Amino acid sequence: ALPPGWKPGSKAAPAPQLPDFAAIAAENQQAPSGAAAPKSTLSQLKDSFLNWDLYKQAIPDLFKTGLPNTLILTVSASVIGLALGMALAVAGISRARWLRWPARVYTDIFRGLPEVVIILLIGLGVGPVVGGLTGNNPYPLGIAALGLMAAAYVGEIFRSGIQSVEPGQLEASRALGFSYTSSMRLVVVPQGVRRVLPALMNQFISLLKASSLVYFLGLVANQRELFQVGRDLNAQTGNLSPLVAAGLFYLLLTVPLTHLVNFIDTRLRRGREPGREDPLELSTSQEMI
């Protein structure tokens, strides 16, 4: 309503008409509801880790996207690690200093740095330099970083296996007319590799778990590995169930491999069963008779 005496052109402002806050508060006032009963610790843990609806949402993405990429990263890096690791092992036992010292420096650096530091240095440091080759795609850089890390450990495993072979094996092969290179390739290295198979399998398991660190390079949606798929769903929902589902996938991969390592190690330690003839020795003895 306009104030008394107001007319057009008057500078007098109309009095503000404010709502009756007291009346509104009285109308909306309700009896205070009872406080909600706090959830038990077990119920809170169940809500955080065992949300079945989120499991149903996460498992298809983990299976279709996360699992294949984790295996691709691990297997590709393992191939790089085995090839470069063997070269490092041979260089590490070489008598030539120009081969031995660089191999040792490489091994010390890549074994001494944290894995995530190496991945970030290669992905963010080398990435812009080789962007023309990779198309600024962090996926091959992640494989390269994992492979270079694995090579340092695999090289030491190979070196220990080769040096565990008795020197008489090399001397005997040289006495039979084999060159040093042929003796190492055909006699010493196969025996050394056989002795370190459990250690190589353990290194593969470690590499499989380390593949989750490629997450820090920021892979695109169809390149995400298990951890990143679970982490993205965790960030969207605020629930830890997707990460638990990702952890279950890792366990499905690592636990059977761990038991396989134990089986191989047991067989290698036991050797041939008592009373079982070596076919090669048996044929040789028959020829002598």
**Quick one: pLDDT at residue 115?**
93
**Quick one: pLDDT at residue 4?**
61
Rounded to an integer, what distance in angstroms lies between the CA atom of residue 113 and that of residue 51?
A: 38
> What are the CA-CA distances from residue 9 to residues 2, 5, 6, 14, 216 (Å)?
13, 12, 9, 13, 69
Rounded to an integer, what distance in angstroms lies between the CA atom of residue 230 and that of residue 240?
A: 9
Domain ranges of the chain: 55-267
Yes or no: say if 246 and 230 are a contact pair by the CB < 8 Å rule: yes
**Quick one: pLDDT at residue 213?**
94
**Quick one: pLDDT at residue 289?**
37
**Quick one: pLDDT at residue 75?**
97
Yes or no: say if 178 and 184 are a contact pair by the CB < 8 Å rule: no
Q: What is the Cα 6 distance to its own chain's centre? A: 80
What is the helix (H) or strand (E) element at residue 134, kind and residue range?
Answer: helix 131-134
**Quick one: pLDDT at residue 130?**
81
**Quick one: pLDDT at residue 281?**
39
> Could you say which DSSP state residue 101 is in?
H
Rounded to an integer, what distance in angstroms lies between the CA atom of residue 183 and that of residue 275?
A: 31
Q: How many residues does the chain have?
A: 289
CATH of 55-267, one of 3.30.70.1450, 1.10.3080.10, 1.10.3720.10, 3.40.640.10: 1.10.3720.10
**Quick one: pLDDT at residue 229?**
94
Residue numbers of the chain with a pLDDT score lower than 50: 31, 272-289
In 3D space, the residue among 10, 14, 24, 123 whose CA is nearest the CA of residue 73 turns out to be: 123
Helix axes 197-210, 138-164, angle to 10 degrees: 160
Q: Which pair of structure tokens corresponds to residue 158? A: 């190979």
Largest CA distance in the chain: 139
**Quick one: pLDDT at residue 32?**
55
User: What pTM does this model have?
Assistant: 0.76
**Quick one: pLDDT at residue 153?**
96
**Quick one: pLDDT at residue 79?**
97
**Quick one: pLDDT at residue 277?**
43
**Quick one: pLDDT at residue 13?**
56
**Quick one: pLDDT at residue 285?**
41
Task: Map residue 8 onto helix, strand or coil.
Answer: coil
